[in-house]
Structure 1
Amino acid sequence: MGFAPINPKGVPIAAIEEAFATDSSLKKRIYDAIDVTPQHRSVFEDIAKYTSSLLARTAHTTLPSRSPVVADGPAAKKRKLQNGDSGETAQASVNLKDGNAPLSFYVQDVSFSTPQRKKLTLEITAGHTYLRARNQTTKEIEFGVSMDKIRHALCLPVPEKTQKQFNFCIIPEFADGINPPPEGTAVAEPMVFTISDGPAKAAFSGDGQQLGQGPGETAEALLRKILNEHMPHTNVVRPDDKQFVSATPEAHRKGDKAYHVKAFRGSKEGYLFLLSTGILFAFKKPLLFFSFATIDSVSYTSVLQRTFNLNIMARPANSSEGDVQEFEFSMVDQADFSGIDSYIKRHGLQDASLAEARRAKVYNVNKAGGEEAAASTAEAAEGDESELQKAQRELEDREDEEEEDYDPGSDDSDGSGSSSEEDDGEDDDNAEQDSDEDMNLVRDELGSEAEDVSEDN
């Protein structure tokens, strides 16, 4: 069939695609008829819109009648249905792949990377019910999620791309990699799909009206707006300069700020995004999202001259003490330490760098390269020290500094008129004087506690 006379750009007619999506042979006959008699195109579009409205009314009248049938079933089936889930979710699993369900919004040719890597049509069904993906060749529904099950929706610039793009990450309940689902509960997988920066070219409303054609309106902004209107429990979150900005700008777009940090989880390379609602590790599977409610503590380890490791201790929300898991992200650029540390302190996340199990890792580092990290962890530890411990630590630090500053080849004496015995005597006198000064310092700081220390010694 030839679309050139009616559709020079090769874009299908939205109303006809929606109404006859599951009947390809009838749809082909309609297109053939329009090709032969182009003047009847508007008639066929009106018929298609009327068909869609009939399908919508049919869906609304038949859906409520199904619920009582499920509820009146045998007790064993009822328990299976409600094991960790609700009747509404079970109903969603029935209707999620209903190809005839009326739509309120759809976008064609969307590139998905999770849970499948292919181009699909992104759809939102009428009634703010489901977000799903349809195969553009077979017209089958591949996967989707109920809108009321979406817990986090993120819009993030795609790192290291010459052309600006955005990845939308849709994270359903129990799909964040931290909170396990209750036994017997079916969980939708996270979705990751890419939207190019620029005007929307294939976004339509449910009645086939093309959207996103206003001046300056981008496909990314349009999709954020549509999702916010349809999601009942959350809004789309974007990176914010007030939360975190990388010290290194985008490599391929010099004028753009970077909101990510490159890191490794094991051998898998990915990106950390520090957002207003939590920390995301993406975009490889499995996706990990640490909401603030699940972060138990954050620490730094293996602090070297150019890199360090970020460790996140996380527990499922409302779980017991023994459910803490450790996630280590390695090879983080030292240039981003200051920004990450500020983010952690701003949100009151506990710094566990000085925990007993980590002390050796933190203190045995290259001091020249890890001074900033060592200083921040030492400051966090000072609040937990008693005054006696603090004074003892300061005394030890002074002695360490004097040993480091001592240079045996920098003696001011020219070797004449002095002897080794005299030097030894002077050293003894100086050492005794330093000892008295140090003891006075401790007495000034601690008062009566210092006397107890001297008696113990």
Structure 2
Amino acid sequence: MAFAAINSSNGPSAFSVVDTTTPQPATAVNYAVIDNAFAADLSLKKRVYDAINVSPEHGALFQDIAQYTSALQSRLQSQNSNSTQQLEADQPLAKKRKLENGKPGTSVDAKDAPLQFYVQDISFAAPQRKKLTLEMTAAGGYLRARNQTSQSIEFGIPIQDIQHVLCLPVPEKAQRQFNFCVIPKYGDGVTPVPDGQSVLESMVWTVSDGPPKAAFTGNGQRVAGDEPGEALIRRMLDGILGQTKVIRPTEREFVSATPEAHRKGEKAYHVKAHKGSKDGYLFFLSSGILFGFKKPLLFFSFENIESISYTSVLQRTFNLNITTRADSTQEPQEIEFSMIDQADFAGIDEYIKRHGLQDASLAEARRAKKYNVNLLKGEEEAAAGEVEESELQKAERELEDQEDEEEEDYDPGSDADSDGSGSSSEEEDGDDDEDGGGEDEEGADDAEDLVKNELGSEAEDVSADEL
């Protein structure tokens, strides 16, 4: 028979003997403790609940394990926070900026913010390359990534600081995948950072095609249905974002002349390009141009583009030069993308002209206009067509000016006289025919022939009566 000695403060002795082979009565379990400890691993939490249902007498044991797990997580978070603070103290300012949105213990944790949606086993590429749980809190909260082992927040961005969100197909993959790119303020790699302003790094994660395997609402209920993970995450993001929305590439904006090599028949929305020795992809979107996906991302929003030009236009390739300037106080900066396939020249050139990006004189108008992604549904096409509309208005004005000049030279009296003479002549001719006046008709014909012989084509508009 097995026995165990345990400490009991209620008994007469400090020790008592309990027979562990005898089933113990079930005790009340605080399930909130278990929920908190295993919130990020629902499969493990379900196994705990199943074990309690099978052996209710072990409920208190699982509760103690959950309490210990929560306490251990808190200690790990505290240690990570202290080590990160020490690391920041030893690093220059440029390094400190990179830690701003990856520092555990900051407001990104936002433990009191209600969790609205989360997806497990998401593959992140930036600012860290690892699998994490993607979490979204309610509007005004945070978009963040949680470590699935330690349960600490690895990094995140306040919702109000998100400037652009892009959902782009991953090029050159046998299976369809989508990259979500979340770009915070001053994190586009183009806009100058104000003095003393901390900068958050962009977040990039990948979602496979098809329904997600581990997507849950904030209360832990699994999201069921056949909705693809890309569409689900995009819908949830649009629900919490107020100042922007998720932008996807469209054929109306740009589609490559070369289809996807690894997915036969599927259209591609990117072109290969090099920035120096770094290779990547250019996407031409309704709100700007992205170069990715390697760190750092570069996003050229329309209002930051001064002008775009071409260089080294050869038989097979050409270079694209984007000149940027955030405002009139900044010096222009030119960034060159090389080795772009000549087959995509026509599509890129059409995109650039449609948005007026080749004309530096329109840069101030774009900055004042602030082309942005925060447009209501249906307004995006109107915004994209504003440049075209201005060109049409210009053509209309030129046509109106030309018509005004013609109206100034126009003499209505001469036309009226001419028309009247013609009508009268035709009526008289008709009367003569009825009266049998053939001689007058022949005389008029002779006079008309005489005029033609003398004046040639100039006499075509001159009536016989005017002679």
Bin for the TM-score computed over the shorter chain: 0.5 to 0.7
**What does residue 339 of structure 1 align with?**
347
**What does residue 317 of structure 2 align with?**
307
Alignment counterpart, residue 115 of structure 2, candidates 91, 103, 108: 103
**What does residue 83 of structure 2 align with?**
none
Q: State whether structure 2 residue 295 is matched by structure 1 residue 278.
A: no
Deviation at 1:94, TM superposition (A): 3.8
TM-score calculated relative to the size of structure 1 = 0.58
Q: For residue 247 of structure 1, what is the amino acid of its counterpart? A: A
Q: State whether structure 2 residue 221 is matched by structure 1 residue 209.
A: yes
Q: State whether structure 2 residue 37 is matched by structure 1 residue 20.
A: yes
1:222-251, Cα deviation, whole Å (9 max, x unpaired) = 000000000111000000100000000000
Q: Could you say if the C-alpha distance between residues 266 and 28 of structure 1 is closer, same or farther in structure 2, counting changes exceeding 3 Å?
A: closer
**What does residue 37 of structure 1 align with?**
53
Q: For residue 143 of structure 1, what is the amino acid of its counterpart? A: F
Q: Could you say if the C-alpha distance between residues 173 and 249 of structure 1 is closer, same or farther in structure 2, counting changes exceeding 3 Å?
A: same
Structure 1 CA distance, aligned partners of 2:342 and 2:333? 25
Q: Could you say if the C-alpha distance between residues 29 and 164 of structure 1 is closer, same or farther in structure 2, counting changes exceeding 3 Å?
A: closer
Structure 2 CA distance, aligned partners of 1:181 and 1:280? 19
Q: For residue 344 of structure 1, what is the amino acid of its counterpart? A: I
Q: State whether structure 2 residue 145 is matched by structure 1 residue 125.
A: no
Deviation at 1:214, TM superposition (A): 2.4
Alignment counterpart, residue 244 of structure 2, candidates 223, 230, 234: 234
Structure 2 CA distance, aligned partners of 1:161 and 1:225? 24
Structure 1 CA distance, aligned partners of 2:322 and 2:140? 35
Q: For residue 225 of structure 1, what is the amino acid of its counterpart? A: R
Q: For residue 146 of structure 2, what is the amino acid of its counterpart? A: R
* Contact 1:270 1:283 survives alignment (8 Å): yes
Structure 1 CA distance, aligned partners of 2:232 and 2:182? 16
Q: Could you say if the C-alpha distance between residues 17 and 137 of structure 1 is closer, same or farther in structure 2, counting changes exceeding 3 Å?
A: farther
Structure 2 CA distance, aligned partners of 1:132 and 1:287? 19
Alignment counterpart, residue 195 of structure 1, candidates 185, 207, 212: 207
1:93-144, Cα deviation, whole Å (9 max, x unpaired) = 8421245653111000000001111000000123541000011111110000
* Contact 1:263 1:330 survives alignment (8 Å): yes
Structure 2 CA distance, aligned partners of 1:137 and 1:21? 10
* Contact 1:96 1:130 survives alignment (8 Å): yes
Moved more, 31-40 or 169-178: 31-40
Deviation at 1:254, TM superposition (A): 1.1
* Contact 1:110 1:195 survives alignment (8 Å): yes
Structure 2 CA distance, aligned partners of 1:18 and 1:150? 31
Q: State whether structure 2 residue 161 is matched by structure 1 residue 145.
A: no
Structure 2 CA distance, aligned partners of 1:33 and 1:178? 51
The answer for unaligned runs of 5 or more in structure 1 is 1-13, 52-88, 353-457
Deviation at 1:195, TM superposition (A): 0.4
Q: For residue 343 of structure 1, what is the amino acid of its counterpart? A: Y
Aligned Cα root-mean-square deviation (Å): 3.2
Deviation at 1:178, TM superposition (A): 1.0
Structure 2 CA distance, aligned partners of 1:227 and 1:175? 19
Deviation at 1:185, TM superposition (A): 1.6
1:326-345, Cα deviation, whole Å (9 max, x unpaired) = 00000000000000000000
Deviation at 1:323, TM superposition (A): 1.6
* Contact 1:18 1:102 survives alignment (8 Å): no
Q: For residue 343 of structure 2, what is the amino acid of its counterpart? A: A
Alignment counterpart, residue 323 of structure 1, candidates 331, 350, 354: 331
Q: Could you say if the C-alpha distance between residues 348 and 298 of structure 1 is closer, same or farther in structure 2, counting changes exceeding 3 Å?
A: same
* Contact 2:40 2:151 survives alignment (8 Å): no
**What does residue 67 of structure 1 align with?**
none
Tell me, what secondary structure is at the counterpart of 2:236? helix
Q: Could you say if the C-alpha distance between residues 227 and 251 of structure 1 is closer, same or farther in structure 2, counting changes exceeding 3 Å?
A: same
Alignment of 1:160-179 (within 5 A): 160-179=172-191
* Contact 2:38 2:45 survives alignment (8 Å): no
Q: Could you say if the C-alpha distance between residues 307 and 23 of structure 1 is closer, same or farther in structure 2, counting changes exceeding 3 Å?
A: closer
* Contact 2:38 2:44 survives alignment (8 Å): no
Tell me, what secondary structure is at the counterpart of 2:166? strand
Larger Rg: 2
Alignment counterpart, residue 181 of structure 1, candidates 161, 178, 193: 193
* Contact 1:112 1:192 survives alignment (8 Å): yes
* Contact 1:170 1:190 survives alignment (8 Å): yes
Percent of pairs with identical residues: 58
* Contact 1:101 1:125 survives alignment (8 Å): yes
The answer for unaligned runs of 5 or more in structure 2 is 1-30, 68-100, 361-467
Structure 2 CA distance, aligned partners of 1:344 and 1:274? 9
Q: Could you say if the C-alpha distance between residues 228 and 32 of structure 1 is closer, same or farther in structure 2, counting changes exceeding 3 Å?
A: closer
**What does residue 298 of structure 1 align with?**
308
Structure 2 CA distance, aligned partners of 1:159 and 1:23? 31
Alignment of 1:350-365 (within 5 A): 350-351=358-359
